Amino acid sequence: MAKTDETPLTVAQKKTLLATGAKMADIRALAAEGHSYEEILDLCESEALVRDTEKQGDADRQAKATKRAMRPENEHAPRISVFHPQGWDARREPICPTYWAGMDVRGDVDSDEEIVLMNEVPPGVYNCTKADGTTTKVTVEVQTDPRGNPTEKKFSFSTSGMNMRNHGSRVSYLKEMLDQAPEPVTKPTQLVTIPA
């Protein structure tokens, strides 16, 4: 409780109070208000506890900010994309090495629909409608092993000169090819599950 008389403090008491992190001016002000050494010590320790709590909070916020800055956005990536809406582990893959106009098709940036349709198109020559309404010839070649299993599939069409532009989407071409296919698809599409 506050007293009316100033309480004199010894040098040893002042050292103990300063060790709590209190400022000498604050200690003198409390002594001038008439607080006893025990009351001043209690107030200084309480203030030190508040400061320590604030410092720990600042340190925790800084540590969290550093951790966020040092790690990828998704700590555990969902492995779902526009190409693989059911997830990477449930994605479709070509039944054999497949090439679209000379580009390797791996199934990583190809939609599941594209992969399913590519797997189903049989060998042949097809007329597909480009975006401008003209047609282009698409040749599908399939190499097989002695048992008749496909080992390589190529979708070829002209991409040079005037044929470089206005191609339709891969899905539109593939659907047109399936509509023109002379034989029904006999092999089921393959779902490949890859362990994480």
Judge if 60 and 111 occupy the same domain: no
Residue 154's DSSP bridge partners are: 99, 141
Q: What is the pTM of this model?
A: 0.52
The verdict on residue 98 lying in a domain is yes
Q: Which domain holds residue 52?
A: 11-70
Cα-flanking dihedrals φ and ψ of residue 37, to 5°? -55, -45
Helix axes 11-19, 37-70, angle to 10 degrees: 20
pLDDT tens sequence for the chain (196 residues): 444 455 688 888 888 888 888 888 888 888 888 888 888 888 888 888 888 888 888 888 888 888 777 776 666 666 676 666 776 666 778 999 999 998 999 877 788 889 899 999 999 999 999 988 888 999 999 999 999 899 999 999 988 877 778 888 899 999 999 999 876 554 444 444 444 4
The verdict on residue 82 lying in a domain is no
The verdict on residue 156 lying in a domain is yes
